[in-house]
Structure 1
Amino acid sequence: MTERLELSDATLREWDAIVLESDRETGIVLDRSAFYPGGGGQPPDHGVLLWGGVQTRIVGALKGDDVRLVAHDDDPLPPVGTAVRGAIEDDRRTALMRTHSGLHLLSGVVFRDFGALVTGGNMEPLEARLDFNLESVPEGFRDAVEAACNVEVDADRAISAYELPRDEAFAIPDIIRTATNLLPPTIEIVRIVDISGLDVQADGGTHVASTRQIGAMRVTKIENKGKGFRRIRIALAP
């Protein structure tokens, strides 16, 4: 199994590794990797592997039993046993970290102020959306949500990640902020992302260290997605 470096240090951008598997169809597996492979609405990282004077661009990841990196079609694959230097595309990763943390902040604000749970979501760098089980929205809802989010950004609340046994994690009130519990029953250790004093959720993504690092948030659109469901779209300052 690949050692997941990004889960313990989301700021890591370069590291050394050894190639364990290398195949055009099934991907490249490293013994150590900081590439986030995607999940929970967060897209996979992009970056490069450097080896023997050669550069292999990493453009995605395959879902499977391990972190399987997808190389650009035009680039060579490092053979098994090769020592490589991995590097993450910093602008993309940082933007996704800010965006993912921004979605957790949005979820915390809407749950706190309106009691609504998340029913779906998606993100790209600096743009994202969350769907909520909201029957209706009051007048001024969009401005109120945007203002409340930016109050929490300015509050500079600490964002931390840690692991708990499943029973301890589920003892935390409202630990699952989605209308449906998507956490597989086979997972015994749950990773928690905690925005101090605002939001605590089970989550496997990468995040910034404080709400201030998210930056200014705009609610760009509120959409009606059917009876009892509303979509909130956000954008972050570049």
Structure 2
Amino acid sequence: MPTKFLYWWDSYRREFDATVTRIDGNRVWLDQTLFHPRSGGVANDTGRLIWQGEEYVVKEVIKEGEDAVHILDREPRFRVGDTLHGVIDWERRYRLMRLHTATHIIAALAYKKYNALVTGGDITPEYARDDYNLTLSGDALRKAFQDLIAEANEIVRRGIPVKIYFLRREEAMKIPGVVKLAEREPPPGDEWRIVEIEGIDIQADGGPHVANTREIGEIVFLKSESRGKDKKRVYYTVKP
């Protein structure tokens, strides 16, 4: 059975219990997890797995197929079938959630204003970086991104709920802009996880998010740059 990603239903949970399904050196598979693997450009969670009072540091989490693989600081003494207690690094997770929801707002505004799609990106606890298929350059590009972020901050301050729910694939495919990544095919599967910022954006997405835009705080523009004719990059962060 594939890993059950518990944060799909509750991004605010910090602890969980799970059963070990496979071990390969310091790589561990669980039947369910709160740890978000690096995927969709969003950095992975870190934290601890605890077994009989012994703690293992989860240094990295990657996705292999439909499974999350937890990479520990050392080979574990526990075995397949044992029950573990997991604790995620909440401060790191929450910053990723805030930045992730911010990216959705900015992407929605860029799509609406310029019909621009995301061509790549990364979200770390320190900052986010997005690439768009824009043709602007120089001062015009910088101003465009600064204006988008200023408009995004107005949305943040409005305190709009962020809803998460599931739709059948055929229903989700009817929603304009439900996939805003230029080089990404629609997600596989018959049921899609949908993240909706009411009146602003709706996307198919599998990562953790905040429940209200006000939680994002202030989005701060860092810099913009041209990486090619149709590849324009923006860096931004959120205030602590």
TM-score tier, shorter chain, comes to over 0.9
What are structure 1's unaligned runs of at least 5 residues?
none
TM-score, normalised on structure 1?
A: 0.92
Amino acid at match of 2:175: I
What are structure 2's unaligned runs of at least 5 residues?
none
TM-score, normalised on structure 2?
A: 0.91
Name the structure 1 match of 2:194: 192
CA distance in structure 2 between the aligned counterparts of 1:126 and 1:105, rounded to whole angstroms: 18
Name the structure 1 match of 2:172: 169
Match of 2:211 among 206, 209, 212: 209
Q: Deviations for 1:192-214, whole angstroms, at most 9, x for unmatched residues?
A: 11111111111111101111111
DSSP-derived class of the 2:56 partner: strand
Name the structure 2 match of 1:134: 134
Amino acid at match of 2:112: R
DSSP-derived class of the 1:93 partner: helix
The answer to whether the 8 Å contact 1:51/1:85 transfers is yes
Instruction: Rate the CA distance shift 1:77–1:168 in 2: closer, same or farther, 3 A.
Output: farther
**Equivalent residues in 2 for 1:1-238, closer than 5 Å:** 1=1, 2-24=3-25, 27-65=27-65, 66-73=67-74, 76-136=76-136, 138=140, 140-184=143-187, 186-238=188-240
Percent identity between matched residues is: 35
Q: Offset at 1:115?
A: 2.2
DSSP-derived class of the 2:38 partner: coil
CA distance in structure 2 between the aligned counterparts of 1:79 and 1:222, rounded to whole angstroms: 49
The answer to whether the 8 Å contact 1:128/1:233 transfers is yes
For these two proteins, the number of residue pairs brought into alignment is 235
Q: Offset at 1:61?
A: 2.0
CA distance in structure 2 between the aligned counterparts of 1:53 and 1:7, rounded to whole angstroms: 28
CA distance in structure 1 between the aligned counterparts of 2:209 and 2:98, rounded to whole angstroms: 6
Q: Offset at 1:77?
A: 4.1
DSSP-derived class of the 1:63 partner: strand
Q: Offset at 1:76?
A: 2.9
CA distance in structure 2 between the aligned counterparts of 1:157 and 1:117, rounded to whole angstroms: 23
CA RMSD of aligned residues (A): 1.7
Q: Deviations for 1:99-127, whole angstroms, at most 9, x for unmatched residues?
A: 11111111112122222111111111140
CA distance in structure 2 between the aligned counterparts of 1:177 and 1:35, rounded to whole angstroms: 25
CA distance in structure 2 between the aligned counterparts of 1:97 and 1:86, rounded to whole angstroms: 19
